[in-house]
Structure 1
Amino acid sequence: MKPPAGYTKAKPGEVCILKRSLYGLKQASRQWNKELSKFLKVLKFQQSTQDYSLFTRNLDGEFLVLLVYVDDILLTGTSLTQMQEVKTALDKAFTIKDLGQLAYFLGIEIHRTDKGVFLSQRKYITDILADAGMLDCETAPAPLSRGLKLSTEAGDLLEEPDVYRRLVGRLLYLGITRPDLSYCVQHLSQFVHSPRIPHLRAALHVLKYLKGTLDNGLWYSSSYDLQISAYSDADWSSCQYSSRSLSAYAVFLGSNLISWNTKKQKSVSKSSAEAEYRSMSATANELVWIQGLLEDL
């Protein structure tokens, strides 16, 4: 930071004391979030105890939901009038840009019909394929080759390991709408510290699978079924190096998949039953959080 033009009182070796946050400082994002949250509470929004980026408002029989991602905001509700009032207030306080009906958000494409909403990342996948020079590549029937076994030692080290790390990071983000990638991305993530040629070859195979499934995504029907159901599974002692097991779960709201995860367990399970119980425990933890989130809504 430099003193404003024309300020000549500062002597060599002296520094200025900031009385407020400035854009670019390490604490700026937190200060912005505090300021926005404070303003939304003035507008009678309640901040969720389960997700601090979620705000809800019940006022005069109308219900609004507002979601914040840094300085990107989603707003929906039962009253167009109240929604417009909120947007007007936000614009007056911070100056905002209204992008209209939601169609694209943080790399996610939103397609709305009378029967529900479809989420996909077709453009994001296309960008990944273009960067890898694989727009015209052949397709693959599955994310990983049948019988694939990756090792931390087999194959030569990559000369540019950041290429692999960046690709795996992009696949992780793609998992927002692609639960079918959950296992393979978890598997590939184990080698980001020291990636080798076979690891990159496996990651590029995932891109071949994506080429053939560009239009896959998540469908959320407009059903009134709010029954929560969950499924868990475990692969006992699946890691050839640590003998740790793999946990996985999927949670549905009605027929809609709302949460899923594939993760290596933190400690070694001494039996398949113990591995299954650990997976069930992780699933139960997720269900408790989801229940709290739904109660906030």
Structure 2
Amino acid sequence: MCKEFERVMQEKFEMSAKGEMNFFLGLQVHQFEKGIFIYQTKYVGDILKRFQMEDSKPVGTPLAQNHGITPDGTGEHVEPSLYRAMIRSLMYLTASRPDIMYPTCLLARYQCNPKVSHMMAVKRIFHYLKGCLDTGLWYPKDDNFDLIAFSDYDHGGCKIDAKSISAGCLFFGKSCSHVAM
């Protein structure tokens, strides 16, 4: 059936089949007998090099505990275009790296008026990436998937404007145990 599809597509469109997919829109794809691994190791290396952080010291987490990231009205300004370029690069990386989604989106709030404290936090994400280049998403072939979601709402918890903030966590895949609510 796949060969027939390939033949029909080649008749209708100017294309050629190059075998298994290894790259797709900047994502590296590795197909195994037990599943598919999607990652962006090459892209991480490229952005570390682009922002001159390939020799940076790795850290264990993308965001410091009790980070205290706020608009920082008194801090020294940094170059907004560099800050935005770094955030843009990290946002693209979240396609295969949900581990950096929260800190990247948190720091994206300050693109209009970034301060040194914000830039230091962005650079921490890059230090974190340096230590885990090969992290990605694993999709096993097993068709027994569970979707488990957790959410946490903090009504009036934002320190800046007392707006409600929320967080969530989704687990998609085969679970070892179920959590009773």
Corresponding residue for residue 182 of structure 1: 101
Alpha-carbon distance in 1 for matches of 2:120, 2:169:
29
Deviation at 1:83, TM superposition (A): 2.0
Deviation at 1:253, TM superposition (A): 4.2
Aligned pair partner of 1:173 in 92, 98, 109: 92
Is the CA contact 1:225–1:253 (under 8 Å) kept in the aligned structure 2? Answer: no
Which ranges in structure 1 are unaligned for 5 or more consecutive residues? 1-78, 257-297
Alpha-carbon distance in 1 for matches of 2:65, 2:102:
14
Farther off after superposition, 222-231 or 117-126: 222-231
TM-score w.r.t. the length of structure 1 is 0.55
Corresponding residue for residue 229 of structure 1: 148
Deviation at 1:122, TM superposition (A): 0.6
User: Which is greater in Rg?
Assistant: 1
Alpha-carbon distance in 1 for matches of 2:12, 2:171:
34
Q: Does 1:247 align with 2:166?
A: yes
Corresponding residue for residue 128 of structure 1: 47
Identity, % of aligned positions = 32
Q: Does 1:83 align with 2:2?
A: no
Deviation at 1:190, TM superposition (A): 0.9
Is the CA contact 2:76–2:115 (under 8 Å) kept in the aligned structure 1? Answer: yes
Q: Does 1:138 align with 2:57?
A: yes
Q: Does 1:156 align with 2:69?
A: no
TM-score w.r.t. the length of structure 2 is 0.87
Which ranges in structure 2 are unaligned for 5 or more consecutive residues? 176-181
Give 4+ residue runs of structure 1 displaced > 4 Å after superposition. none
Superposition RMSD on alpha carbons, in Å? Answer: 1.9
How many residue pairs end up in the alignment? Answer: 174
Alpha-carbon distance in 1 for matches of 2:86, 2:16:
32
User: Does the C-alpha gap of structure 1 residues 226 and 149 become closer, same or farther in structure 2, counting only changes over 3 Å?
Assistant: closer
One-letter amino acid of the structure 2 residue matched with residue 81 of structure 1: K
Alpha-carbon distance in 2 for matches of 1:188, 1:170:
13
Alpha-carbon distance in 1 for matches of 2:167, 2:12:
41
One-letter amino acid of the structure 1 residue matched with residue 148 of structure 2: S
Larger relative contact order (Cα-Cα within 8 Å, sequence gap ≥ 6): 2
One-letter amino acid of the structure 2 residue matched with residue 132 of structure 1: F
1:264-286 Cα offsets, whole Å, 9 max, x none, are xxxxxxxxxxxxxxxxxxxxxxx
Corresponding residue for residue 36 of structure 2: 117
